[in-house]
Amino acid sequence: EHPNGLAEAFIIGKEFVGNDKVALILGDNIFYGTGLAELLQANNNPEGGIIYAYHVQDPERYGVVDFDKEGNVLSIEEKPAQPKSNYAVPGIYFYDNSVLEIAANIQPSPRGELEITDVNKEYLKQGNLKVSILDRGTAWLDTGTFPSLMQAGQFVQVIEERQGLKIGAIEEAAYKMGYIDAKQLETIAQPLLKSGYGVHLISLLER
């Protein structure tokens, strides 16, 4: 009901997470690129925490991560005046189950929020934080402002119209990965036929 910080997700979602490992992805972040699915799947069983690094021109606007050649995190700072690297931390994180306890025990920051950076710093303190680099061909779009939302919409439109593919089609991904079968996909698609999205899902069954 109140924006108390990203780390509160693990307090609110404790029962949902249960004894599992968990991923957190910010709702206003869009990721797109070749090999992205494979990269995420390779990191979805972490021992500790895994964060991502994305090369940016203006790292002082973001959380910044510095790391060694093995992907071990050396430092992580929130919007530093003197960044130690050009690698920003985008809004996607993988954690083992200890994140529930870590999130429950961090203190609010000076701005009154439970910061995801403090969760990552606790993993770093324990020596259990790794970083995975997003390829330079990966697009990371943060749609938290009106201009960036417009840019993201144009990006998605260009890709979809040029390639005839859909970005972010979770039903398509679930079908291709075997989580749902053809009959389930058709059931999902039927109420969506007028939108055009259902037509796309049905076309998967015809290929």
pTM for the model stands at: 0.84
pLDDT digits (tens, 9 = 90+) for 160-194: 999 888 988 999 999 999 999 999 999 999 999 99
Dig out the tokens for 118 from the structure: 């403090």
Q: pLDDT tens per residue, the chain (207 residues)?
A: 888 999 999 999 999 999 999 999 999 999 998 888 888 888 888 999 999 999 999 999 888 999 998 888 999 998 899 999 999 999 999 999 999 999 999 999 988 999 999 999 999 999 999 999 998 889 999 898 899 999 999 999 999 999 888 988 999 999 999 999 999 999 999 999 998 899 999 999 987
